[in-house]
Amino acid sequence: MGAIEISTTGLVAAYLLLIIPIFISYWFNLNMIKDTFWSIARMSIQLAFVGVFLEFIFNLNNPWLNFLWFSLMVFATVLSAIGKSKIKLSTIFLPILVAFTIPTLAVLLYFNGLIIRLDYLFEARYLIALGGMLLGNVLSTNIVAINSFYQEIRSQEKFFRYRLAMGATQKEALSPFLRHSFQLSLLPALAKTATMGIVSLPGMMSGQIIGGSSPSIAIRYQIAIMIAIYVSGALSVLLSLLFSNRNCFTAYGVLKEGIFKKR
């Protein structure tokens, strides 16, 4: 049993719902009508393109094309993460690219091979859909981790230098900052995981149930994907901070001055 198809009339009915927020905006003079139209139009066009493209990729199901698409997703995630960080792109692009690719790909292949036991590990449907979920989370955790790590070292440079001065190795001097960035970036994901099913009903699970899967299958998928999300998030944060710090500190262990973007 698949999901019931939404007809064109059905879709129009969905758009009609927008009358409510538009009316609210008009009534309270919120000045959001233009933004609402713009956002909804943009979303519709983007999704229409992605829909056509994914349809094409899924039908072809070519391993090279699937991998290329996945690589583009990683690339976009890396650019987005560094764009939202305070560090210059040229300083950390390569380390972050490696730090995002290894955990996401490793967890994805583990997931496809050992959890859902696909015969074909690069199956587009799984590689791209699951990859997107993992990367979305890798993006949000790493923005927090990278920013907090380097900004805290900069704002607490006296403390960092004191540790170095007392003979700490680079790793020892960085450890309190590493610890704090880890907690800051991963605790929200853990809190979200702990309330899953009570506070938030996961989109993937709802999607599967609507798509015709039984709730028990959907729940198993959801548990596995939550674990995969957490593992890839934690591993990517670790690798991001470890790999990027090679480019961000001098051979004397001091934070380089020119790594931050100019305001």
Partner 1 sequence: MTIIEFRGIYLNFKSKNIFKNFNFKIESGEKIVVFGKSGSGKSTLLNLLLGFLQPESGDVIFNGQKITSKNIWEVRKKIAFVDQDVLIGEGEVQRIIDEYFSLSANSGKQFKPAELQQQLEKFDLDTTILTKNINQLSGGEKQRLALVIALLLKRPVIVLDEITSALDPNLKRKVISELLKNIDSTLLVITHDKEWQKARGVRVFDFKEKKWVQ
Q: 84, 161, 192, 220: which one contacts partner 1 (CB under 8 A)?
A: 161
Query: Alpha-carbon distance 151 to 155, whole Å?
Result: 6
For position 1 contacting partner 1 by CB under 8 A, the verdict is no
For position 159 contacting partner 1 by CB under 8 A, the verdict is yes
Taking alpha carbons only, the member of 187, 166, 184 closest to residue 253 is 166
Q: 33, 102, 168, 204: which one contacts partner 1 (CB under 8 A)?
A: 168
Q: Are 205 and 219 in contact (CB under 8 A)?
A: yes
Q: Are 222 and 201 in contact (CB under 8 A)?
A: no
Report H helices in the chain. 8-16, 19-27, 33-60, 63-83, 89-110, 124-155, 157-165, 170-194, 203-210, 215-248
| Shortest spacing between CB 153 and partner 1, in angstroms | 13
Nearest CB to partner 1, comparing residues 55 and 172: 172
Q: What x-and-dash track marks residues 172-211 binding partner 1 by CB under 8 A?
A: x---x-----------------------------------
Nearest CB to partner 1, comparing residues 88 and 161: 161
Taking alpha carbons only, the member of 129, 143, 155, 61 closest to residue 100 is 143
Nearest CB to partner 1, comparing residues 27 and 252: 252
Considering only residues 235 to 254 of the shown chain, the ones binding partner 1 according to CB under 8 A are 250-254
- Residues in the chain, how many? 263
Q: Output DSSP code: residue 111.
A: I
What are the structure tokens assigned to 249, written together? 């500190």
Total interface residues for partner 1 by CB under 8 A = 18
For position 152 contacting partner 1 by CB under 8 A, the verdict is no
Number of Cβ atoms within 10 Å of the Cβ of 82: 23
For position 256 contacting partner 1 by CB under 8 A, the verdict is no
Q: Which stretch binds partner 1 (CB under 8 A): 16-24, 37-45, 137-145, 159-167?
A: 159-167
Q: Are 261 and 87 in contact (CB under 8 A)?
A: yes
Q: 1, 166, 198, 199: which one contacts partner 1 (CB under 8 A)?
A: 166
Residues in touch with partner 1 (CB under 8 A) = 156, 158-159, 161-162, 164-169, 172, 176, 250-254
